[in-house]
Structure 1
Amino acid sequence: MDTRAPRSAADKRALLADLMRAGAAPLPLSYGQRSLWFMDQVRPEAGVAYNMPFAWTIHGEADLAALRRAFDWLTERHPIFRTTYGHVRGTPVQRVSPTGRAAFRVLDADAGQDVAALLDAEARRPFDLARGPVYRVTVVRSPGRPPVLLWVTHHIAIDGWSLFQLLEELGQAYAAFAVGRVPSVPAPAATYADHVLWQASMLAGPEGRRLERYWSGLLGDPPPVLRLPADRPRPADQSFNGAAHALRLDSALSESVAGLAASAGTTLYTALLTGFQLLLGRAAGQEDFLLGTWASGRSRPEFAGTVGYFVNPLVLRADLSGDPGFGVALGRARGSVLDALDHQDYPFPLLVERLGVDRDPSRSPLFDVAFTLRASQRGEIERAGSGTAASPLGAAAPGERGMLVRLGDLELTTFPLGQHAIRFDLEMELISGGDGISGLLRYNTDLFDAGTAGWLAGNYVRILAGAAAHPERPLSALDWTPHPRHATLRGPATPGSAPDGVPRPAAKPSVSGLDGDALRGAGTPEGGDLLSGARTPEDGDRLPGVGTPESGNHPPGVEPVPYTHL
């Protein structure tokens, strides 16, 4: 006879949390992960948009055995690399294998074989999240040329912050293994499982309610969608076909923009964002619109060294009313950014659900255009020497100097990859370091021609140059090159027209087969969260962290989650 007192609900939750941290029980996905996982289920053709490929030319005599061991070490060090994704009774979960090795292989290309094409195909090969692995490494050797290292990871496992963390650790591990030593690196202070459990607990408490009140107030009555001049009608179902236009701010302009930011008591990021808002407002003829950006998702210090998908999209509301000068617009943007960062921990997919956003299968929810300034938490990136003709962001860019990565006595320089995927209509991605600011204006090729992307990129540089010289000059007076077809492309919206002012083709059934209600069926903290008093699997039929599904079509046996994919 068992005379032990029955466990309390709190004790059961604590025990389950410990089992999840140890990998002995399936762990729910974070809100961001759920969104990516669900996208993988219903739009598998979009999977390439969530591959994160990075390629470098290896300079020096590479010890491939040591390099393989270094990646194996990373796999053992970070549980996220030993994780697979599935569902239990309709709940998406992640399982961590107790051991694992890197998917590492060496390919020997034939003389004359197109290495760039080979790497491009490998970068676009989809992942099987249910079987794993979630990342792979390929070293391509070819006669007469230095080898190239390709590292591809699914976004569900890492973000940009993670990449810089991993590159530093990879360098330490390779240097150690190359001389027969074992790396001596302190373990991360927390795991991704800790983040998932913390997020659930936070959202169920007063902080979660505070965050929800802010975002509901800001976006409860959103402005019209941004109506940029498109070259073609918007497809009835969102596509992910992309390309990129490289741009660069030379050192003089970069320093001038940084000086503007410093004089206004703000950051280079906010100044570059302000220029982008001015570009969008001028191109679309709108003064009130939404755009997206990202927070690192690591507001708690214990997660600084943890690898995983922490990044969280933030919605910014641009205010260009009154034809402001750059200084005024910069002040408004500064306030918007600071407010957003103070509320950055509210997951974007949950925000979409709580706002009841009607799902339009032709576009992303809430915003179609995004802005990013890449930065390493270790400081400025190091540039390669001349002759790489690659942007530090990974695209071909004549005259540019790519990123330099050091692994022991090896030097790795950016190898340019094709840019074929995008998750939005437009995304401005910038990176600062060395002798200026490099950028890619990514664009959806089903909407925009290369010429239109070049026109937008050129005007972005002109706006920043004009603002640096005359920060008080109103937007309408800044140097601007009109688009040759701007007036006809962005005509007034008419009934049945796309918001872009271009007639939309007749709607066809969504590729996902989902209606708006099905896309808002994510779990809520109140509805079944591990730390909010919800039932445990012992008590019911659902793992914690998932709410009640709404009606609609979705993968058999799987409860729908917000259809956001950022």
Structure 2
Amino acid sequence: DGRTVAALAAIAERGAPWRGPAGAGGHHNAGGAGGAGVGDGVDDAVGRLPATPIIRRMWDCEGPTDAYHLSMAVRVPSDARPEHLIAALQALTDRHDALRMRQTGDRQQRSLEIMEPGSVRVADCFTHQAVRIAGEAEWVPALAEASFRHQAELDPASGRTLQAVWLDPGPERPGRLLILLHHLVVDGVSWRFLLPDLARAHEAVAAGRRPELRAPATSYRRWARHLVEEAVEPVREKELEMWARTFDAKRPTLGTRPLDPRTDTMSSARMLLKDLPEEDTATLLAVPGALGVDLRDVLYASFAVAYARWRGEPDTGVLVDLQAHGREFLADGVDPSATVGWFTAQFPLVLDPGGITDEQLATSGAALTEAAARVGAQLAALPDNGIGYGLLRYLNPRTAPLLAALGDPQISLNYLGRFQVGERSALWTPTGEAGSAMGGGADLGTPLERTLTLTVAVEDRERGARLAARWIWPSGVLADDHAAELAERWSGVLRRYAAHARAARA
């Protein structure tokens, strides 16, 4: 709309102080807190709560989201009993309040509520399914079929954010417990707390004891209410100019046309799974020690280098949408580090590794190290790991429309970190039999948010660690061979980093 960055910043500076939840400036009840008493200092985990930025983002989706979920399949003991599994899952649900979240209202006036412990009956969300498994490979289709069938039973409006399926092959071998959780209540980090708690709860139940699970320091409801206050802090509003400048970068259209939410949905999505072999992954994991740069920065710099070559353009910067864990320490007494919920912070950033010639790519470890260091510096310059963008975009009524008018990047990058995919003998660990440690899915009619999405994780498996990459794009916008070429270029740059790390260690 022609507004300059300086004008945007000036509007934020002269705006009157704002009180209360962000109910203005959007078609949702952004606060949704009613009489929640924002900032009263009491950590009351139960009751209505405001939507966080990432949930507001989901609500902006024009299509269905009831089946939007994350999942994991874990090995359970061969002598497991359904009543023990149900009791362990019940203890988990009663302890972690986000798992009792309910989404109420219609598209124009949605709100959230954390229900009392015991209000979610896990027995109603649990399925005991006998399966015939002749070989380990047969788990893959069995889990895929169960996941697809039971995601349709998720219903956030009624508080059904959990579906658990025990695939029971009999007493001769460990079964699989498939856990589907609506994304509304969980993120990738949350599984690091949920699975150990589930194992402890089952051990107690099987021994005839009452499960005792430690409560997190801060409830999800308190965190959500704190974000409402944080979004209008003057120091946070000063970030507006920085975020607006991000969109000054040149943004050539990726693909043949812009996304159309009516046609570019999950049903039209194409996916490419491209793993880095164990040998290359092992060397890549040694890059931080050998070259002195972070693995995340290497992954992102490699994408930017590959993208510039793929497009054949001199501009080395690429505007992307990044994700961080979002569990930031923003105030004394508010510690979300061990809280279950959807905390993800999404933010735009121009990744600019600088120019690298073909000769430097092939021979110069110093040039690649500098590229990763540049990207690392760009990430490090963001206050609180980028959480402020979502606060200003979704929870501040003055800045929200200004940032919304700037649009969104066409590319999403997400490094999930490192996951332990259990050995065949390890119980209560992700099996990875669905192709990755953590699965997920959505309604087929859900619009795709980005023209290209790259999700990366390091998975520690029996034969060694593998870098697993998942590329997703709409078939009507980006040609399959073009996406595959970009994926191969990215893998090629990563292999060059690995080669330089080997040389540095030698």
Partner in structure 1 of residue 412 of structure 2: 370
1:51 counterpart letter in structure 2: H
Answering whether residue 192 of structure 2 is matched by residue 171 of structure 1, we say no
Partner in structure 2 of residue 83 of structure 1: 101
User: Is the Cα contact below 8 Å between 1:290 and 1:366 reproduced in 2?
Assistant: no
- CA shift, 1:111, in A, is 6.1
C-alpha RMSD of the superposition? 3.6
For the residue of structure 2 that corresponds to 1:271, the secondary structure is helix
Structure number with higher helix proportion: 2
- CA shift, 1:215, in A, is 1.6
Partner in structure 2 of residue 458 of structure 1: 488
2:454 counterpart letter in structure 1: M
Alignment of 1:93-492 (within 5 A): 93-98=111-116, 99-100=118-119, 101-102=121-122, 103-108=124-129, 115-116=142-143, 118-125=145-152, 127-141=154-168, 147-219=175-247, 221-225=248-252, 227=254, 235=260, 237=262, 238-241=264-267, 242-286=269-313, 287-300=316-329, 302-323=335-356, 325-340=367-382, 342-348=384-390, 350-351=392-393, 353-358=400-405, 365-375=407-417, 381-385=420-424, 406-407=427-428, 413-416=431-434, 423-434=449-460, 435-446=464-475, 447-448=477-478, 451-469=481-499
Number of residue pairs aligned between Structure 1 and Structure 2: 426
1:438 counterpart letter in structure 2: L
Q: Are the structure 2 counterparts of residues 383 and 105 from structure 1 closer, same or farther at C-alpha, using a change threshold of 3 Å? A: closer
Percent identical across equivalent pairs? 20
For the residue of structure 2 that corresponds to 1:171, the secondary structure is helix
- CA shift, 1:70, in A, is 1.0
For the residue of structure 2 that corresponds to 1:139, the secondary structure is strand
CA distance in 1, matches of 2:478, 2:321: 19
- CA shift, 1:265, in A, is 3.3
CA distance in 2, matches of 1:373, 1:321: 21
1:428 counterpart letter in structure 2: L
Alignment of 1:495-514 (within 5 A): none
- CA shift, 1:291, in A, is 1.1
Partner in structure 2 of residue 532 of structure 1: none
Show structure 1 runs of 5+ residues with no match.
Answer: 1-8, 360-364, 386-403, 472-566
- CA shift, 1:245, in A, is 2.4
Answering whether residue 49 of structure 2 is matched by residue 27 of structure 1, we say yes
User: Is the Cα contact below 8 Å between 1:240 and 1:444 reproduced in 2?
Assistant: no
User: Is the Cα contact below 8 Å between 1:148 and 1:415 reproduced in 2?
Assistant: no
User: Is the Cα contact below 8 Å between 1:51 and 1:126 reproduced in 2?
Assistant: no
Partner in structure 2 of residue 43 of structure 1: 63
Q: Are the structure 2 counterparts of residues 256 and 141 from structure 1 closer, same or farther at C-alpha, using a change threshold of 3 Å? A: closer
Q: Deviations for 1:379-432, whole angstroms, at most 9, x for unmatched residues?
A: x624435xxxxxxxxxxxxxxxxxx8633xxx6623317976664333222222
When the two structures are superposed, what TM-score results if normalisation uses the length of structure 1?
A: 0.66
For the residue of structure 2 that corresponds to 1:375, the secondary structure is strand
CA distance in 2, matches of 1:152, 1:160: 12
Q: Deviations for 1:83-122, whole angstroms, at most 9, x for unmatched residues?
A: 2112499653212221323243224357699634531422
1:218 counterpart letter in structure 2: T
CA distance in 2, matches of 1:450, 1:428: 14
Show structure 2 runs of 5+ residues with no match.
Answer: 1-18, 21-33, 358-366, 395-399, 443-447, 502-506
Q: Are the structure 2 counterparts of residues 95 and 351 from structure 1 closer, same or farther at C-alpha, using a change threshold of 3 Å? A: closer
